[in-house]
Amino acid sequence: MHVKLIGYTSDPEKLPAMAATLTHSKTKPEDLQNLPIKKQAAILEQVLKLGHTSVIEHVSFTFAISDVSRSLTHQLVRHRIASYSQQSQRYVNLNEPNYVIPPSISNNKKTKDAYEKTMQVIWEHYNKLLELDIPAEDARYVLPNATCTNIMVTMNARSLLNFFELRCCLHAQWEIRMLANKMLQEVKKVAPTIFHTAGPTCKTKGFCPEKKKDCPLYP
């Protein structure tokens, strides 16, 4: 899995600070552009602590994500407030096997061997269908959820906080949890105040919505 932040709103912490200040001021928005950095951070910390997260919708972040499974992207696109552009299985040549192996399978030689043999058979049938002039859009029906794909994702900061609460949780599936943690590491570099306390709900709100008492983070 490769995750890279390739674009984001310039001055990602200034705009929300301006928005928050505007709501309690007679000052015009354009006159708030010179807020000192320390004041921006103080304003953001306060409004986020109060749960007033609408102001951070003014900034967005775009990620380039590659070598993840279709299983992961099926989960990812359930997050509605986002924009997605995904590699097409209709137009991209997928004749070479390229797939994700879950750790529970790769950690055991017997299961890994069986898994890889299955994938080899699947791709042989996929290529056979193409040789028989079956359109790629139909031949792809035999490809597994493990098939690697690439996707670009854009989310605003408020949606990202929600995404991190759900997907950084230890009860999220391992692959999308790995993705969420990598994305969180990326945005913390450019918007440290907004994402200072970001993470699973147990960290952000102090309780477990799953009520999973077997979770090591539950206490």
Per-residue exposure over 76-99, b if at least 16 CB sit within 10 Å of its own CB, e if not: beebeebeeeebebeeeebeebeb
Quote the CA–CA distance of 155 and 139 in Å, as a whole number. Answer: 32
Residues ≥6 apart with Cβ < 8 Å to 43? 17, 20, 21, 35
Determine the Cα angle at 178 with ends 176 and 181, to 5°.
110
By the 8 A CB rule, do 71 and 1 touch? no
Q: Does 167 participate in catalysis according to the annotation?
A: yes
Among residues 140, 158, 167, 177, the one annotated as catalytic is 167
The set of catalytic residues is 167
